[in-house]
Each structure stands twice: as structure tokens, then as C-alpha cells.
Amino acid sequence: MLRIRNLVAGYDKLKVLKGITLHVKEGEIVTIIGANGAGKTTLLNTVASLVKPTSGEIKLNGRDVTGLSPDRIVRGGCALVPEGRQLFPAMTVRENLTLGGYTLFKRKRRNGLQLRLNNIYELFPILKERGSQLAGTLSGGEQQMVAIGRALMAETDLLMMDEPSMGLAPIIVKNIFQVVQSLRDQGKTILIVEQNAKAVLEIADRGYVMETGSLVMEGRAGELLNNNDVKRAYLGRDYKEFTDR
Amino acid sequence: MSAEQILQYIFAGITVGSIYAFVAIGYNIIYNATGIINFAQGEFVMLGGMIAYTFSQYMPLLPAIILAVIITSAIGGLIESVFIRRMKKNSVLGMIVVTIGISILLREASLYVWDEQIRALRFFTGSEISSVNIFGARISPQVLWVLGVTIVLVIVMFLFFKFTLTGQAMRACSENSRAAKLCGIRTDSMVNLSFMLSAGIGALGGCVVSPLTQTHYAMGTDLAIKGFIVAILGGLGNATAAVAAGILLGLIESFSISILPMAYKDVVSIVILLVILLVKPSGIFGSVQASSMKDY
């Protein structure tokens, strides 16, 4: 589904991604974990074409999409739920969701808009009640739901999520990760970047570990959960187990 | 002052105010999409009137006006793709200076094309001597045209931005252009559209007021300043407020003539601008909170 080879990208002279190679297969939840500043967000932004890569190759469904404009990435089948949600705060929830499907409705004149909205409302029932409220007035969890819903409206095969758990209460994080799992079960492919490594590894199929611009480890989610290096660096679990031995 | 006289002043004020509002709406559309104040907005009004005048020599009024609006829109779009798009890396202030340059360019080009003669479009209905009697005040039917077009424009704009996908996408670009890109909206073309739209609206305004206020190659500067005052008065970015503020300024100007000498008309509006900038920069209808998030 998604294949990235030797991707190098950054901002001006600062090289953030130093040759990333990864792949995501259809129907998988793949996660990239890593500390702050490792380059996880830059990686997703580069795939979404908000950041232009210096070199390397991004293939989506077998097509080379490196350096295409962001709207063509969306039309090519890949939507991003950005870090920090990035809603349109002074527009209603319904308008936010509608714009998520902009690429579809632009061509087909809003055919099936209501149907798609209903799908989102089924996933997040609370959004139906909030439909005519301004997105900026919602709680953090609800805003995250709108952000996910907006990306889903484009009906892409691949959904990328950047730190969906950021700043949310544990119960809401659980809820959102359940939704992510159910999306996978419905056939979506998901690439998810997280700092909350433990929670995300529990729902993911595979994972990568990123450190200062490079992927240093790859494996099945279960393996990573039990890997001592990963435990020490990212899970913070059984701290004593390592230090007092 | 008799009641009829007051009414007369009111209608005169509303007419002038409407054209200010046309300019201010144009400012707001571009400001919302880009954060730029486009000081060439007054020139769009002039171009609309001039082009329509030229075409009206050869065809009926309506197609002439439609052509003028379309051509001016195209000029607006061209300006965006030739100048503004290439300056993107520059600061907003830099781009504002560019728009001043463009306004001079358009003005000089018009002087070359149309010379310095003052022109006026035909009256839409009747002629300069026909008048309608409203509660004892005698006003030109063209005033009613100006009012009608302004009202229709405001309604159409509201519907466009609220209910059409393109309108919503334009709002999305102004609220968060990064997120708009992620939705697959081509922000470049939305900016281009905003220039076309405001040029077209300016041109339409230029056509409807031309019979009353005449069209002259250098009229743009004055309108740009007045429109700017109105945009600030209403609160930058708020198109509906711009209409209210425009009519307010028109009324103030019109009544100031009855008290102060005519020459002080512009002084009054500049004083208003200064007072607003000092006391409430967010405008009388703008929220302080919203303006604190803007660039300047």
C-alpha cells in the first residue's frame, strides 16, 4: 500500500529524516514510535506532501507520488489526521467534516454526502449532536474525533494519524484506539505515529522505532512490546527490573 | 433641515456608502484568503466602470456590464498569478507594497487607454433628470439600483460562503490553510479565486455607481482609502459588517457636508480612521479576540 525508500527530508538546511525506508501492507495498523523530535511528524507531513522531500521515493498503491501536491496525495488515496487536530475552528462540525470530502464532492456535487456523514456519526455518535456547533468550541476529545472524521470523509485506503492521543484523557484515548481497530477491521490501512507507545503497540500489528531521523528497529507489535530496549526507552514499564538487577 | 432634506442626505449617504462597501468587501475577501490588504481594489472599481463604458458604446448596458465584470475578474486573477503568487516567500507587508505598485500600474495604463476624460455609464433606467419620489425626497432611480445591487450582493455572498463547497473551502483556507491542503483543497487556486471574486465585485460596484459619480482614471486612490477606512471600521475580514460600516461612513460624510464645508468631507473620514485605529483597532463590529489572532 505504502512504500517509502531512502526518504530524506527536512526544513531548509536542517535534515530531519535521514533515509527512511518502510512499508505498510494493506489492512495493517503500523505504528511509528519514538521520542519528541525524532522526526515522526515530519515523516507523515512528507508523505502528505506538506514537506517536500530532498531525495527518496514514496509509492502509494504502486504509484510514485513523491513530490506531488497535497491534493493529489489525497486523491491518490492517503489522508492525514494532523498533529494537534488542526480543525477549522470557526466552522461547524458538519462543515469541517464536509470539507474532509472536498476532493470527492468537488467532482460529484455532494453525491452521498449525507451517507458519508452518517458513517462518521455512527463511528462517533457524539458528533451528530454537535453537528451545528463551531468546531473550536468542542472538547479536546471531540475535536480529535472531528479530525479523524474529517480525514475519513475523503474515503482513502490509507489513513495516517499523528499523535491522536495527545492531550487526551486515558479513557478517550482508549475509545479512539478502539475506533482505529474497528477501522482496520473494516479494511482500512492505518499508519499511526505515537508517543504513547504502550497503548498503540497493543492495537498495532507492526511497529517501527524512530530515533533522530532514522528507523532503528522494526518488528511485530508484540515483539516490540516485550523488547527490553523498547521497554527501557519508551514504555517506562518495570523501571526497577532493569536498573536494580 | 426639513424632513425631506434629511431624507435626501440619507439617500446620498447610502449611495456613496454602498460603493465604499463594494471596495471594502473586496478588501475583506482577499484579506481573508491571504492576509494581504490589496490596495489596487479601488482600481478594480475604476476598471469596471471604464470597460463597461467602452462596451456600452457598441451594445446594450447589461452585456456591457457583464463583460466588464468578467474582464476585470480576469485581470484580478492575472495579477494574483503574475505578482502575488511569485512573492509568496515575502512578508505580508511586502505584498501590500506590491499591491500599491499594481494600483499605480493599473492607473497609468488606464490613463493611456482611456485618457483623462471623465466618463459616465448610461443610467440603467430613466436619465439624469428622472427621479423617484420617496416620502417627499426626490432621488434618482439609479440610487435604487445601487441599493438593490448592494443588497443582492450581500445575500449572494452570504449564501456562497455558507452553503457552497467552494465558498466553504475558501473559508477553510483562511482559517487554516495547512489543514485545507490536507483536505485536498488547492489553496493556490482559492487565493486566485479570491482575487477574481473581489475584482469582479469591485467592477460591478464601479458599473452601478458610474452614472451617479462618474468614472475617471484616477478615482481608484480615493476609493481605496475610503474602502480601507470602511474595512477597518467594520472589522477586517467581516464582509457583512463592511456594508454596515460603509453605509455608516457614507451617511456621516453626507451629513458632514450640511455642517462643514464640502472640502472637509475627507477630513471627517480620515479622523474616523484615526480614532478607530487608536480606540478600537478591531473595528466597531469586530471582536477583540479575533483581531488579536491576526497578523497585524
For B167-213, how does the pLDDT look when each residue is reduced to its tens digit (9 = 90+)?
A: 999 989 888 888 999 999 998 899 999 999 999 999 999 999 888 88
Burial A156-169 (b: 16+ CB within 10 A, else e): bbbbbbbbbbeebe
pLDDT of residue A243: 52
Percentage above 90 pLDDT, chain B:
30
Q: Is A84 inside any structural domain?
A: no
Do the Cβ atoms of A130 and A97 come closer than 8 Å?
Answer: no
pTM for this entry: 0.85
Backbone dihedral angles phi then psi of residue A14, each to the nearest 5 degrees: -85, 115
Alpha carbon distance B155, A154 (integer Å): 31
Q: Is A83 inside any structural domain?
A: no
Mean pLDDT (chain A) is: 88
Q: Is A82 inside any structural domain?
A: no
Task: Please determine, for residue A31, whether its predicted confidence score (pLDDT) is greater than 90.
Answer: yes
Higher pLDDT pick, A86 / A237: A86
Clarify whether residues A10 and A119 are in a common domain: no
CA angle B6, B11, B14 (to 5 degrees): 125
Clarify whether residues A174 and A59 are in a common domain: yes
| CB contact set of A9 (below 8 Å; sequence gap of 6+) | A15, A16, A17, A42, A43, A46, A51, A52, A53, A54, A56
Task: Please determine, for residue B149, whether its predicted confidence score (pLDDT) is greater than 80.
Answer: yes
Which of A51, A71, A116 would you mutate first to test chain B, the one with the most B CBs within 10 A? A71
Q: Is A10 inside any structural domain?
A: yes
Range of the domain at A237: 2-77+157-243
Clarify whether residues A163 and A220 are in a common domain: yes
Distance from CA of B163 to the nearest CA of A (A): 9
B224: enclosing H helix or E strand: helix B219-234
Whether residues B165 and A151 touch (CB distance < 8 A) is answered with no
CA angle A54, A60, A62 (to 5 degrees): 110
Q: Among A132, A155, A178, which residue terminates a domain? A: A155
Q: Does B183 reach chain A within 8 Å, measured CB to CB?
A: yes
| CA closest to B189 among chain A residues | A71
Task: Please determine, for residue B226, whether its predicted confidence score (pLDDT) is greater than 80.
Answer: yes
Q: Does A136 reach chain B within 8 Å, measured CB to CB?
A: no
What integer is the mean pLDDT of A94-122? Answer: 86
What integer is the mean pLDDT of A88-101? Answer: 91
Clarify whether residues A72 and A162 are in a common domain: yes
pLDDT of residue A3: 92
Provide the grid cell at B137: 425626497
Do the Cβ atoms of A121 and A148 come closer than 8 Å?
Answer: no
Q: Among A155, A171, A189, which residue terminates a domain? A: A155
Q: Is A57 inside any structural domain?
A: yes
Which of A72, A88, A96 would you mutate first to test chain B, the one with the most B CBs within 10 A? A88
Alpha carbon distance B85, B33 (integer Å): 13
Number of independent structural domains in chain A = 2
Distance from CA of B181 to the nearest CA of A (A): 6
Q: Among A128, A155, A182, which residue terminates a domain? A: A155
Mean pLDDT (chain B) is: 86
Task: Please determine, for residue B159, whether its predicted confidence score (pLDDT) is greater than 70.
Answer: yes
Query: What's the pLDDT band for B34 if we cut at 50, 70, 90?
Result: confident
What integer is the mean pLDDT of B79-108? Answer: 85
Clarify whether residues A73 and A162 are in a common domain: yes
A42: enclosing H helix or E strand: helix A40-47
Q: Output the domain CATH number for residue A52.
A: 3.40.50.300
Task: Please determine, for residue B257, whether its predicted confidence score (pLDDT) is greater than 90.
Answer: no
Clarify whether residues A73 and A189 are in a common domain: yes
pLDDT of residue B216: 86
Do the Cβ atoms of A148 and A176 come closer than 8 Å?
Answer: yes
Clarify whether residues A17 and A63 are in a common domain: yes
Clarify whether residues A131 and A179 are in a common domain: no
Q: Does A134 reach chain B within 8 Å, measured CB to CB?
A: no
Q: Is A13 inside any structural domain?
A: yes
pLDDT of residue B239: 74
pLDDT of residue A38: 87
B3-292 is a CATH 1.10.3470 domain? yes
Distance from CA of A212 to the nearest CA of B (A): 25
pLDDT of residue B88: 67
